[in-house]
Structure 1
């Protein structure tokens, strides 16, 4: 038996993009500082249809399911870092989604999703005498293209 090849939490990155000065310039990606925990959820929307038995119409129908949509949600939490608070606030205030990359780095490969995300929620918790923490949730806006590097 061979052990599973795993990765650590620091190898999962949420990167936000800054467009270049012109449309021809590449987008520059950077990971806002402060997260101590991140989460990625991939969702497939399904529609259900009852499928009858043609030979026995009185038989209880089985449910057929058709995939109708894909979605990605990303969240992170940690300390509210001065270096990144305006990045998150700017993205939250934007009427448009922001360019983003989500990376999961393993020893032999890195899985990357590239597309646009909306900052859905930004929250800060400020307990007296302790560091301010924050949490951010993002939702995909259109296709998130997966590549393996």
Structure 2
């Protein structure tokens, strides 16, 4: 049996894009994340499918995919280097460019698209480091590539 090839948490990156006046979008990973989670969700619609030969038989449910969505959550320290990036994104009425990367030794899986920063929260206890948490929701397709 071959052992699974795994990665450490720092190889899961969430990068926020900035569109300069001219040229391509520039992506950077905001500083401070110590934990991040990427979720891909598929919405399903259900329909009961009757048995044509025995209509009294209990129906099985058929499911059809109706939509895809991606969400990101992250936590860490409230870093001065990234606080403005998060505040500008959460205050923006428009979604922002986002790139998500999972870097494996032999390949990197990347999703690129727009996301809304739906929540940015700073918190702190006396005598301890201030923390931050953030959540993002996709706005349209997140295009996956593997290289």
Q: How many residues align?
A: 147
CA-CA distance at 1:126 after TM superposition: 1.1
Give per-residue Cα distances to partners, 1:9-56, cap 9 Å, x unaligned.
11110000001213xx11000000000000011100000000000110
* Aligned residue in 1 for 2:62: 64
* Aligned residue in 2 for 1:91: 89
SS in 2 for 1:92: helix
SS in 1 for 2:79: coil
* Aligned residue in 2 for 1:107: 105
Matched ranges for 1:1-149 at <5 A: 1-22=1-22, 25-149=23-147
SS in 2 for 1:10: helix
For the aligned residue pairs, the C-alpha RMSD in angstroms reads: 0.6
CA-CA distance at 1:125 after TM superposition: 1.1
Structure 1: 4+ residue segments shifted above 2 A: none
Give per-residue Cα distances to partners, 1:111-142, cap 9 Å, x unaligned.
00000010011111110111100000000000
Give per-residue Cα distances to partners, 1:60-89, cap 9 Å, x unaligned.
000000000000000110000000001000
Q: Structure 1-normalised TM-score?
A: 0.97
Q: Structure 2-normalised TM-score?
A: 0.99
SS in 1 for 2:99: strand
Aligned counterparts of 2:119 and 2:21: Cα–Cα separation in 1: 28
Structure 1 unaligned residues grouped into runs of 5+ = none
SS in 2 for 1:83: helix
